[in-house]
Structure 1
Amino acid sequence: MDRRDFLRSAGTTAASGYLLAATAGVAAASDRPQWNRRWRSYLSNPDSHPLIPNVSHAGYRRGELPLPRLGVRVSVTAFGAVGDGVTDCTAAFTEAVERVGATGGGTVYVPPGTYLLTGIVWVHHSRVAIRGAGRHRTRLFFDRSLTECYRPGSRNEWSWSGGLVWFIPRELRGALEESGFTGNEGWLANRDLSTVTADVPRGRRRIPVSDPSAFQTGRHVLLLADNTTDNSLLAHLAGDVPGTATYAWATAAKRLRPELTDWPLAVNFARYRFPVQVHRVEKDAVVLAQPLKIDLRAGWSPRFATLGPAITESGIEDLTIEMRQVPQTAHHLDPGFNGPHFQAAMNCWVRDVDLWHADNGFGSTTTKGVTMTGVRVGGRARHHTFICRVQTHDLLVDHFEIPAATTPLAPGAAHHGINTEGFSSGNVWSNGVMEGTFDSHRALPFESVRTAITVTNNGITGGAGDAGPRWGARFCHWNVDVLGGRAHGVRLEEHAPYSAAVGVRGTTGPTDHPKDFTGELSSVVDALDEAVLPANLYEAQLRHRLRGTTQERGDA
Structure 2
Amino acid sequence: MRLPIDFFVFLFIGMSLIFLSPLRAQTLPKIIEKEEIIKENYLPDFSYAGYHYGEDDIPDVNEIIISAADYGVKADDGLDDSKALLKAISETKEMSGSIVLQLPPGRLILSEVLFIERSNFVLRGAGVGKGGTEIYCPRPMMYMEDPQSLKELREYLVKHKKRQIEKENNIDLPFSQYAWSGGIIWTQVPGERVKSYMMEYEKPSTTLAKVEGGQRGEHILKVSDVGAIKKGDVLQLELFNKEGKDGVIIEDLYKGADVKVGSHHWNFPDLPIVRQQVEVISVSPDEIKIKTPLTISVKKAHQARLIKWKHLEEVGIENFKISFPQYPWVAHHVEPGFNGIYLTRLFNSWVKNVVIVNADSGILTEEIANVTIENILTKGSNTAHYTVAMGGVHNVLVKNLNVYNEAVHPLSFNTFSTKSVYKDCEVFVKPVLDQHSGANHQNLFDNIRVHVNPGNDGIYPLFRGGGAGYWKPSHGAYSTFWNIEVHFLGGLNIKSPFLLNGMNDGPHARLIGVHGNHDIELNYGPGAFVEKTNSNLENIPSLYEYQLNARLKK
Fold equivalence (TM over 0.5): yes
Cα displacement (A) at 1:101: 2.9
Q: Is the 8 A contact 2:101 2:122 kept in 1?
A: yes
Aligned to 1:210: 224
Which runs of 4 or more aligned residues in structure 1 lie more than 6 Å from their structure 2 counterparts after TM superposition?
Answer: 42-45, 184-189
1:254 to 263, 280, 288: 263
Cα displacement (A) at 1:376: 0.8
Instruction: Say which is worse superposed, 270-279 or 444-453, in terms of deviation.
Output: 270-279
User: Is 1:499 the counterpart of 2:509 in the alignment?
Assistant: yes
Cα displacement (A) at 1:257: 3.2
CA distance in 2, matches of 1:151, 1:486: 45
> Quick one: structure 1 residues 429 and 49, their matched pair in 2 at CA, closer, same or farther if it must change by over 3 Å?
farther
CA distance in 1, matches of 2:27, 2:300: 44
- TM-score with structure 1 setting the length: 0.80
Cα displacement (A) at 1:184: 8.2
2:541 to 531, 535, 541: 535
Cα displacement (A) at 1:475: 1.1
Q: Is the 8 A contact 1:163 1:340 kept in 2?
A: yes
Gaps of 5+ in 1: 1-30, 261-266, 406-413, 549-556
Q: Is the 8 A contact 2:120 2:315 kept in 1?
A: yes
Aligned to 1:97: 89
Aligned to 1:286: 288
CA distance in 2, matches of 1:149, 1:88: 14
CA distance in 1, matches of 2:311, 2:272: 20
User: Is 1:76 the counterpart of 2:68 in the alignment?
Assistant: yes
1:487 to 492, 500, 507: 500
Secondary structure of the 1:278 match is: strand
CA distance in 2, matches of 1:102, 1:293: 39
> Quick one: structure 1 residues 42 and 451, their matched pair in 2 at CA, closer, same or farther if it must change by over 3 Å?
farther
Secondary structure of the 1:130 match is: strand
CA distance in 2, matches of 1:185, 1:64: 41
Equivalent residue letter for 2:508 = Y
Aligned to 2:443: 448
> Quick one: structure 1 residues 259 and 241, their matched pair in 2 at CA, closer, same or farther if it must change by over 3 Å?
closer
Secondary structure of the 2:546 match is: helix
Aligned to 2:113: 120
- TM-score with structure 2 setting the length: 0.80
Deviation string for 1:198-254 (max 9, x for gaps)? x3220121112122342111111111111222332133112x2253xxx554xxx12
| Higher-Rg member (1/2) | 2
CA distance in 2, matches of 1:467, 1:399: 30
Equivalent residue letter for 1:299 = A
> Quick one: structure 1 residues 418 and 248, their matched pair in 2 at CA, closer, same or farther if it must change by over 3 Å?
closer
Aligned to 1:378: 379
2:253 to 237, 250, 264: 237
Aligned to 2:7: none
Equivalent residue letter for 2:121 = V
CA distance in 2, matches of 1:73, 1:185: 43
Spell out the pairing of 1:452-491 with structure 2 (5 A cutoff): 452-457=447-452, 461-484=465-488, 485=498, 487-488=500-501
Aligned to 1:37: 30
> Quick one: structure 1 residues 510 and 465, their matched pair in 2 at CA, closer, same or farther if it must change by over 3 Å?
farther
Secondary structure of the 2:191 match is: helix
CA distance in 2, matches of 1:302, 1:382: 38
Deviation string for 1:475-516 (max 9, x for gaps)? 111111123346245xx6x6432321111014633348xx6x
Q: Is the 8 A contact 2:238 2:272 kept in 1?
A: no
> Quick one: structure 1 residues 469 and 495, their matched pair in 2 at CA, closer, same or farther if it must change by over 3 Å?
closer
Equivalent residue letter for 2:208 = L
Q: Is the 8 A contact 1:205 1:290 kept in 2?
A: yes
Q: Is the 8 A contact 1:89 1:115 kept in 2?
A: yes
Aligned to 2:520: 508
Equivalent residue letter for 1:529 = N
Cα displacement (A) at 1:270: 3.8
Cα displacement (A) at 1:70: 2.3
Cα displacement (A) at 1:194: 1.1
Instruction: Say which is worse superposed, 204-213 or 162-171, in terms of deviation.
Output: 204-213
Deviation string for 1:89-111 (max 9, x for gaps)? 11121122222233134110012
CA distance in 2, matches of 1:312, 1:212: 24
Spell out the pairing of 1:109-508 with structure 2 (5 A cutoff): 109-136=102-129, 137-151=132-146, 154=154, 155=157, 156-172=176-192, 182-183=197-198, 190-197=205-212, 199-228=213-242, 229=244, 230-238=246-254, 240-243=255-258, 247-249=259-261, 253-259=262-268, 270-307=272-309, 309-380=310-381, 381-389=383-391, 391-405=392-406, 415-434=408-427, 435=429, 436-457=431-452, 461-484=465-488, 485=498, 487-488=500-501, 495-506=505-516, 508=520
CA distance in 1, matches of 2:197, 2:341: 21
Secondary structure of the 2:402 match is: strand
CA distance in 2, matches of 1:336, 1:49: 46
CA distance in 2, matches of 1:225, 1:397: 26
CA distance in 1, matches of 2:499, 2:87: 49
Deviation string for 1:294-340 (max 9, x for gaps)? 11010111121111x21221121011111122112211110110111
> Quick one: structure 1 residues 426 and 354, their matched pair in 2 at CA, closer, same or farther if it must change by over 3 Å?
same
Aligned to 1:59: 50
CA distance in 1, matches of 2:143, 2:364: 20
Indicate the RMSD between aligned Cα atoms, in angstroms.
Answer: 2.9
Equivalent residue letter for 1:144 = R
Equivalent residue letter for 2:385 = H
Q: Is the 8 A contact 2:110 2:137 kept in 1?
A: yes
Instruction: Using CA pairs under 8 Å that are at least 6 residues apart, name the structure with larger relative contact order, 1 or 2.
Output: 1
Q: Is the 8 A contact 1:36 1:534 kept in 2?
A: no
CA distance in 2, matches of 1:416, 1:242: 25
CA distance in 1, matches of 2:204, 2:552: 34
> Quick one: structure 1 residues 400 and 457, their matched pair in 2 at CA, closer, same or farther if it must change by over 3 Å?
same
Among the aligned pairs, what percent are the same residue?
Answer: 25
